[in-house]
Amino acid sequence: MKFLERPPRFLFFTGKGGVGKTSIACATAIALAEAGRRVLLVSTDPASNVAQVFGTIIGNRMTDIPGAPGLSALEIDPQAAAQAYRDRIVGPVRGLLPDAVVKGIEEQLSGACTTEIAAFDEFTALLVDSALTATYDHIVFDTAPTGHTIRLLQLPGAWSGFLDSGKGDASCLGPLAGLDKQRAQYGRAVEALADAARTRLVLVARAQRSTLTEVARTHKELAAIGIAQQYLIINGLLPEEEAKQDRLAAAIYEREQAALRALPAELAALPCDRVALRPFNLVGLDALRQLLVATPSPANASEDEPIALDASSLGDLVDAIAADGHGLVMLMGKGGVGKTTLAAAVAVELARRGLPVHLTTSDPAAHLAETLHGSLEHLTVSRIDPHAETERYRREILAAKGAELDAAGRALLEEDLRSPCTEEIAVFQAFSRIIREAGESFVVMDTAPTGHTLLLLDATGAYHREVARQLDAKGAHYTTPMMQLQNPKQTKVLLATLAETTPVLEAAGLQADLRRAGIEPWAWIINNSVAAARPQSPLLRQRARNEIREIAAVAATHARRFAIVPLLKEEPVGVSRLLELAGRTIATA
């Protein structure tokens, strides 16, 4: 593997959700450790699944991985990091300042941007030379999906610039002293990221046009901030011999080869490795050890045994949604499970019935336009653009609060609004506007991958608590966005997953997080099911059999209602193919 030749100290794995970043990062960490290196594997994903892959509890501490001498792992826990951050800031003034003042500071530090910057502090601490990491030869970062990762890697420079130019004594994070102490650490982190001798970025992709286009954008954005040492891995390629035995496999193989022939020029210039699709789930040390080495395809055993499925279709779910006449439909889940495609499919099926539908996305790496590839009567499409929303928010605040300020006061306000986490507030406001629309029509929202969505819901919850604190004492009536999300008559949350061990576990974890916030998911959707596509290829049939156990777990343990969407021969791009996803029957393969 080219990306493993003369590896530097820091290796970052990034890419669109669902392309196999975690599996490849874990397999890389094992390979380095078995070569005699001391390795720390770090997940920066707020919805980390490293623990599920290794089958052990990890959490926010350096933990040795059983059965893999020399390998430790760490999952940066945003909530634990945020609490530690709050304690660092509030602890010194507790007991010295009035309780009301301390409570006000804590309230300032309760939002999503505090959670983000606190986790970011832990991330940058791993990039600087310290006793914390001195014993490790390599630190392997399994990052969150693309949009979140780009923001994470841009933050060292953004916060350094903000602190260098800032003149205020507070931001949305509370006292700036909490950030200013980290100035030197951020500077050293910037140097480490830009040093090709110390840092290598590995872009992980699937052989899909949309995925490769997004990876090309990521390559450009990260190269622009100085991360130039980049490699490419094309993961999960169907072997050519499988295409000779099955029309479905042949269509998938040709689709992948066409995407590779159209590889963007900037990616074609990068050192590239190709990793074959495996018939087994990538969970456990034995499976991970096989990922980066060549293995034979499965034999033709058990080819004639039927694969039985009994489940609703996506169309059945849409029938029940349409009966309400209006409402918010939110697609949530891990990156790469097909939320964008499913959101578009639900929206076009509702619009086909003559219902007014607004399809929107909060995903920083959104590609709704590419998925729809056309228009439809009764359907409008939008995107919550973080940059546009931040600029709108800045203008509104300057108009409302800056009009009566003198030049010095206005300059101070403008400086405060240049804080990188102003974006979190702006995106939340846009999210709130979208929710209000669902009172009169259908709004279908394609959310960002799990971790980013949880941060958005954290902001929604913080806003609700602040409104409740101010208005409950007055006995005033109010409705917050969080209350609308908690009302099943107004909001239906659809959890998207794949019939694989890790995505199902992650969807179950997301469901638990939502329930703690008082939001009950309405249904699960198992997307891209190989079993429901009736394959004949031995490799695909083995993957189909692996799916049955996961589908049974969803039915028995996790979901009150669920639907299965089959893997299609053609990519579901365009209105007509999206309507195919709402098929009425799930057949026996």
Select which of 14, 15, 17, 18 is catalytic. 18
**How is 497-539 classified by DSSP, letter by letter?**
EESSHHHHHHHHHHHHHHHHTT----EEEEEEESGGG---SHH
Q: Please give the distance of CA 351 from its chain centroid, rounded to a whole number.
A: 28
Select which of 14, 17, 23, 336 is catalytic. 23
**What's the Cα-to-Cα distance from 49 to each of 13, 44, 506, rounded to whole Å?**
14, 10, 7
| Tokens standing for residue 378 | 């009764």
Respond yes or no: is residue 18 known to be catalytic.
yes
Respond yes or no: is residue 537 known to be catalytic.
no
DSSP letter, residue 555: I
Report the distance separating Cα 251 and Cα 220, nearest Å.
Answer: 31
Report the distance separating Cα 557 and Cα 545, nearest Å.
Answer: 19
**What's the Cα-to-Cα distance from 554 to each of 58, 292, 356, 524, 567, rounded to whole Å?**
25, 30, 32, 8, 18
Contacts 24+ apart (CB under 8 A), 348-352: 348/372, 348/376, 348/379, 348/575, 348/578, 348/579, 349/314, 349/315, 349/318, 349/578, 349/579, 349/582, 350/318, 350/321, 350/322, 350/442, 350/444, 351/376, 351/377, 351/378, 351/379, 352/376, 352/579
Report the distance separating Cα 526 and Cα 495, nearest Å.
Answer: 9
**Burial zone of 582 (CB within 10 Å; 0-12 exposed, 13-18 middle, 19+ buried):** buried
Residue 331 φ then ψ, to 5°: -90, 120
Respond yes or no: is residue 21 known to be catalytic.
yes
| Tokens standing for residue 541 | 């049939």
Select which of 15, 45, 166, 313 is catalytic. 45
Select which of 16, 17, 22, 312 is catalytic. 22
Report the distance separating Cα 373 and Cα 179, nearest Å.
Answer: 44
Respond yes or no: is residue 335 known to be catalytic.
no
E strands, 406-558, in order: 442-446, 491-498, 523-529
Report the distance separating Cα 488 and Cα 328, nearest Å.
Answer: 10
Q: Is 39 left (phi over 0), alpha (psi -120 to 50) or beta?
A: beta
Cβ contact 482:461 at 8 Å: yes
- Give the Cβ contact number of residue 324 at 10 Å: 12
Respond yes or no: is residue 45 known to be catalytic.
yes
Select which of 15, 17, 20, 157 is catalytic. 20
Q: How many helices (H) and strands (E) does the chain have?
A: 24, 17
Select which of 21, 334, 339, 492 is catalytic. 21
Select which of 218, 447, 480, 502 is catalytic. 502
Q: State the pairing for strand pair 357-361/199-206.
A: unpaired
Any idea which residue has 């007509």 for tokens? 576
**Residues that are catalytic:** 18, 20-23, 45, 502
